[in-house]
Amino acid sequence: MEDRRMISARAVLRECFWGDYQFTAEELLHLLDKNDAGFDRLVFSKIMENSDYPSRHLRVLFLPDKWQKLLDRYMKTGRNSKRLRLVAANLTGNHDLAKEYAWRV
């Protein structure tokens, strides 16, 4: 069975990078494991903007403390899109961030 990180890395390269950068899934994981803040921000933003399943990939590719810091920073950039708030609500469990998606009773 294939590693979940490898599956996510391949999906992220396909869905989010569109050939802009030339590295393999293995190289992506290696670079993420180096804890380079700039690279982490790049990958995080690519996932947030382009991934079909951003919450899944962020959880798999980043440890909780890292994706939380990246999310906090990203939310402060002023991008207040519905997508961002929905992903943040899904990751953090704070569903008040995306009230417009709540079920109506």
Cβ(85)–Cβ(97) under 8 Å?
yes
Tell me which amino acid residue 84 is. Answer: L
The model's pTM is 0.88
Number of folded domains in the chain? 1
CA-CA distance, 80 to 48, in Å (whole number)?
12
Q: Which domain holds residue 51?
A: 4-101
Per-residue CA distances from 23 to 10, 41, 69, 86, 87 (Å): 10, 17, 25, 29, 26
- The DSSP output letter for 76 is T
Reduced to 3 states (helix: H, G, I; strand: E, B; else coil), residue 98 is helix
pLDDT bin (cut points 50, 70, 90) of residue 21 is confident
Give the model confidence (pLDDT) of 44-91 as tens digits.
Answer: 999 999 999 999 999 999 999 999 999 999 888 867 688 888 899 889
Q: What is the mean pLDDT of the chain?
A: 89
